[in-house]
A and B are shown apart, each in its own frame.
Chain A
Amino acid sequence: MLAVGLLALAISLWLLFSSAARLSDHRYKQTTATEYALTLTRLASALTAPGAAQSGADLMRSDQIARLVAMGDVQSRELLPDKTPVWFSRSETSQLDSGAEALAAHWSSIRNTLGALNSQSVGVTDNGQSGGQAGTVSLDEISRSFDALFDAVTNDTLSVPLLRKVSHINADLDNLGFLLPLTNRGDFADSIDQKIVQLKDNVDQLKALSIRADGASLLGFETKLLLQTFAEHASQLGLPAPAVDTSSKFLGNQLNPPVQSSNIQGQIAAALNQNEVYRRALDSAIHHYRRAILGALACVCAALLLSSLLLLRIRRTRNASTKRFPQQTPEQLPEQPPQQLSQQPPQHLAVMAADINQLADGNLVNEVRMVDADSPLAIQSNTIAQAVNYTGKMMRSLVEVSRGIAGKTANVAQCQHEIAEELMQLDNQRRQHIVSLVEDIKQRTSVVKELCDLQSMADHNTEAQSPRETINDVNAVMAGISAQVELGSSRIVRVVDTVNELSAMVESMKGIAERSSLRALNSSIQMSTYGDSEQEESQFVDEMQGMSRKLAASAGDAERLLSTLKADAHAAGLALSGCTSAIEGGTEASLKVSQDVSGIEQRALTLGSANIKLIDELTRQGESLHRVANAMCEIHDMDLENDKLLVLMESTLDLQLMATKLDNSLSHFKLTANEAVAG
């Protein structure tokens, strides 16, 4: 019964889902058919719009028609027939498929007609126009139109020669764009003409490529319009550009003969009629699918009701049997992790033990007492009861042992947990210690680096102590010069004294000469007074006066020489005073240098103290490294303790596994005992 119900349920469900899927598909197709009808209606209205019928080119320039055609392409593809389920009626299926195919055929004919109109309206011819001046052309417009043409061609076609030609034209336009602003300069006139000829050639080749039947079929409608625009712009540049001419030869798809726009209207009307037929078929199919879905839903409900009734009955039967002998398989045992198992007492084992005790002490014994003691059944029951009693005892002992193991395991787990926490703390302390040691070492390293720099500075500065000897030599030389100058000064003073003495002597000589002269004069006066001869008088006076004059002249010469000597001595004294001042300046400079040397010595002393600090720091670093070594030894010992703890954890895990195995064994044993009791 249950199998039949389930089978009916499955079939009903398949029918339900399949009908729902087909229903949604047909609803979508119905919507698409409606949109398709709308598209056809819009296309017909666009084709019959006022002014559109006069010129095919104007008609086909409308982007609206292009968009409608694109929508019709998509919608006709979506309306294509697909596989219909077997259970559906053949007549309706064939009707739907034929309707869809007819719709596709109608749209194909409409598309072909529109393509023929397209080729007819944009036939590319060579109108052979030339002329115009380069200066009157807006090269920007040409470039913009060519950019659009370039994009359209690259989107429409994969023809490599066509793309290459278009790229050449693009390069020519760039060159012209650079050269045209320089038209006034005669140097670039030839280049501009050359580039224009090159552009003409490229346009000719592009035109030749697009004139061919396969080239024309590669280009789309928009591309052809853009090509026309570019041709119009390029014609102003004096290029033989392609032009639109609907009255000349047709170069589009030659397989489709030209048709009249009225044929399109008829085709569209036929397509609309076919679409209406298809929609009706879809409506009937949707109606059938709805009925099928309702039937399937009814079947599903019936199958569900039947299945629920059967399941209720089965559950009642199972509950009755389970109430008497509750069964537990090893798979149904509570799945606990070993750690949790070790921490909790085995409750299920206790329950099992209680059941066994109940069986051994109560029910079974009572049932055995109800029958005759001598009957074989009684004997067998007694045997079983004894076995059950024995098993119960074993179970009690096992439960006790299991409880002891569980308690010990819990203790071990607790200890393990505490040890793990201590290990975490130790690990954190070790990390902090290592971090602090690393920071300390970094600081020491920076200090050592700084001190090394100071040491290098000290080495550099101690080299400057050699000038001190030079300064001492300079001081000695200056002292010698000063002594020489002092000696010269004393000698000059002596010379001056001598000159002064000589001056005094000369003065006395002059006085003597004057007195002699005066004395001679007086003698002459006396001689003349007392009547001596004039000749002797005059001779005596002349002689005396001559001597006096000579003496005076000698005294004058001596005085002049002495004055010269005095001036020289004075100049020498000035020179010596200059030397003295220079020596004083040198002495001051030497004093400054000595002060500088003293400063250098002071710095050397500072550097010496820095060196002492360096040594102290190095000593501290040595101590720090010693502490690091001790810490590392401690860490090594801690790692050894960790190894011991790992061994202990492994032992604990083994104990847990053993307890689990024992628990499983007890469960299995209980099952065996239950089966034995049931047997």
Chain B
Amino acid sequence: MSANTLSVSWSATVAEQTHITGRALLFVMGNSSYGVSVDFVRQVIEMPAVVPVAGSEEWLLGMANCDGVALPLIDVRALFTAEPAPEESLQRAIIIDCAQGTMLLAVDQITTLTDLSATEKHNRTPANYAADYLEYSCESNGVTVGVLNIVRLFDAVRGNIGKRVDYPPAAQNNNGESV
């Protein structure tokens, strides 16, 4: 637990540096290209096996076992556009580690690791991008890239994760034991 706490606090300082340095991991979701600061990326893995969470939002694909730690796997496209991505299109998962916590982002393809500091940032986010969850948008090699704001993303996820779930009462036998 202490490592996580330290990591989060350390990540908050690193985020400012990343923001300064501008290196980001670009990936594709549907027809849009997104990026995430490399300071929040711990690892890129293949799509892990998930355990669905009953009563959760649609963008929460489930819980995945990642090095012995259960992490939520988030369908970013469903989170952004309220339209779940096809299951076969999700090929990779990015482990996001920051001060707010750790989670998995399910994406279609990893494009590259590049430096976005020299790119010209858009004053206005394109319409097909979820501006609430973006840090900024820019043009990288002729492609519009929306850089995610990890804090807002965590806030959105945290607001939903951990909600109380009312399960139906379990059936009991005559002795009062649950079946």
Cβ < 8 Å to B, chain A residues 536-562: 541, 545
Check if A521 sits within 8 Å of B23, measured CB to CB. Answer: no
Q: Which partner residue on chain B sits nearest A517 by CB separation? A: B110
A528 to B115, CA, bound (A): 11
Residues of B within 8 A of A529 (CB): 14, 38-39, 41-42
Stretch at the interface among B43-51, B145-153, B165-173: B43-51
B161 at the binding interface (Cβ < 8 Å): no
Residues of B within 8 A of A534 (CB): 115
Check if B25 sits within 8 Å of A525, measured CB to CB. Answer: yes
Check if A521 sits within 8 Å of B44, measured CB to CB. Answer: yes
B53 at the binding interface (Cβ < 8 Å): no
The residue from A525, A528, A541 contacting B43, defined by CB atoms under 8 A apart: A525
Interface string of B9-32 (1 = CB under 8 A from A): 000001000000001010000000
Q: How many residues of B contact A (CB 8 A)?
A: 16
Residues of B within 8 A of A524 (CB): 113
A267 to B36, CA, bound (A): 180
Check if A518 sits within 8 Å of B46, measured CB to CB. Answer: yes
Check if B46 sits within 8 Å of A525, measured CB to CB. Answer: no
A45 at the binding interface (Cβ < 8 Å): no
Residues of B within 8 A of A545 (CB): 112
What's the minimum C-beta distance from B159 to chain A, rounded to whole angstroms?
28
Check if B110 sits within 8 Å of A521, measured CB to CB. Answer: yes
Cβ < 8 Å to B, chain A residues 497-524: 518, 521-522, 524
What's the minimum C-beta distance from B128 to chain A, rounded to whole angstroms?
26
Q: Which partner residue on chain A sits nearest B45 by CB separation? A: A518
A534 to B117, CA, bound (A): 14
**With A528-B23, A529-B39 in contact, do A521 and B45 touch (Cβ < 8 Å)?**
no
Check if A518 sits within 8 Å of B23, measured CB to CB. Answer: no
A274 to B84, CA, bound (A): 170
Check if B45 sits within 8 Å of A528, measured CB to CB. Answer: no
Interface string of B61-73 (1 = CB under 8 A from A): 0000000000000
Q: Which partner residue on chain B sits nearest A511 by CB separation? A: B46
Q: Which partner residue on chain A sits nearest B115 by CB separation? A: A534
Residues of A within 8 A of B38 (CB): 525, 528-529
A335 to B112, CA, bound (A): 168
Residues of A within 8 A of B39 (CB): 529
Residues of B within 8 A of A518 (CB): 44-46, 92, 110
A residues sitting closer than 8 Å to B (CB atoms) are: 518, 521-522, 524-525, 528-529, 534, 541, 545
- Of the A-B pairs whose beta carbons lie under 8 Å apart in the complex, a sample of 13, sorted by A's number, is A518-B46, A518-B92, A521-B25, A521-B110, A521-B113, A525-B25, A525-B38, A525-B41, A525-B44, A528-B113, A529-B39, A529-B41, A529-B42
A518-B46, A522-B43, A529-B42 known, 20 other contacts, Cβ within 8 Å: A518-B44, A518-B45, A518-B92, A521-B113, A522-B44, A524-B113, A525-B25, A525-B38, A525-B41, A525-B42, A525-B44, A525-B113, A528-B23, A529-B14, A529-B38, A529-B39, A529-B41, A534-B115, A541-B113, A545-B112
6 closest A-B pairs by beta carbon, nearest first, are A528-B38, A522-B43, A524-B113, A525-B41, A521-B44, A522-B44
